[in-house]
């Protein structure tokens, strides 16, 4: 009896992933604005109402929450590791766990988010939530309040580095983004010396 809910949840996750995969493919092939929910439903072999059951809006098909694996990885880093090194370790763990297909899908989402104005606007709310979550997690790791100015500053610096690499990756999809991100965070951890 315990297996049924697990099976149901796995089936839901599989359906959700298929819908999103087909949506991303169609967005790349036809453009975001030219792709309809009906086309996505047909490609995923589900009803349009099923698409809306999993994704309340068309934007949500792109604005996936990939954040939980990172937060789990960050929580797994030993508490005596400093905040920037902890983020580096968590990012590396998440990247190493991804398949090449998952990395390619991530890049496709990033490109859409930065090149489609309505997605960029919708993603800003997501970004704000991500910043607050990272700030809260780093504060907890250091035994400080989330609104501590030093925690705010460290979080802001980390987010700035992430965005800088993110923008470059979208312009140059052949870039080894995980390696560049690790190097950028290493540079931040060293105090941003100009060599």
CATH level 3 topology of 3-56: Arc Repressor Mutant, subunit A (1.10.10)
**pTM for this predicted structure:** 0.78
Widest pairwise Cα distance in the chain: 62
The predicted pLDDT at position 98 comes to 87
The predicted pLDDT at position 1 comes to 45
Residue whose token pair is 């315990």: 2
What's the rounded Cα separation, in Å, for the pair 163 and 106? 15
Question: What averages of pLDDT result for each successive group of 10 residues across the chain (195 residues)?
Answer: 66 88 90 93 94 90 74 92 95 90 81 84 81 93 94 95 89 87 94 89
Asked if 22 contacts 43 with a C-beta cutoff of 8 angstroms, the reply is: yes
The predicted pLDDT at position 64 comes to 67
SS (H, E, C) 34-51: CCCHHHHHHHHCCCHHHH
The CATH homologous superfamily for domain 67-189 is Tetracycline Repressor, domain 2 (1.10.357.10)
What DSSP string runs through 63-114? S---HHHHHHHHHHS-TTS-HHHHHHHHHHHHHHHS-HHHHHHHHHHHHHHH
* Every domain of the chain and the residues it spans: 3-56, 67-189
The predicted pLDDT at position 65 comes to 61
């Amino acid at each position: 009896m315990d297996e049924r809910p697990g099976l149901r949840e796995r089936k839901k996750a599989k359906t959700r992933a298929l819908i999103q995969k087909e949506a991303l493919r169609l967005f790349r092939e036809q453009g975001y604005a030219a792709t309809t929910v009906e086309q996505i439903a047909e490609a995923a072999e589900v009803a349009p109402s099923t698409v809306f059951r999993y994704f309340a809006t068309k934007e949500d098909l792109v604005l996936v929450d990939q954040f939980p694996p990172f937060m789990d990885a960050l929580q797994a880093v030993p508490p005596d590791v400093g905040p920037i090194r902890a983020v580096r370790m968590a990012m590396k763990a998440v990247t190493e766990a991804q398949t090449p297909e998952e990395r390619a899908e991530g890049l496709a989402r990033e490109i859409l988010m930065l090149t489609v104005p309505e997605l960029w606007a919708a993603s800003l709310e997501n970004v704000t939530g991500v910043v607050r979550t990272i700030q809260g997690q780093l504060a907890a790791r250091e035994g400080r309040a989330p609104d501590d100015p030093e925690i705010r500053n460290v979080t802001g610096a980390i987010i700035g580095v992430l965005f800088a690499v993110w923008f470059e990756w979208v312009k140059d999809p052949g870039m080894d983004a995980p390696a560049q991100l690790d190097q950028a965070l290493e540079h931040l951890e060293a105090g941003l010396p100009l060599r």
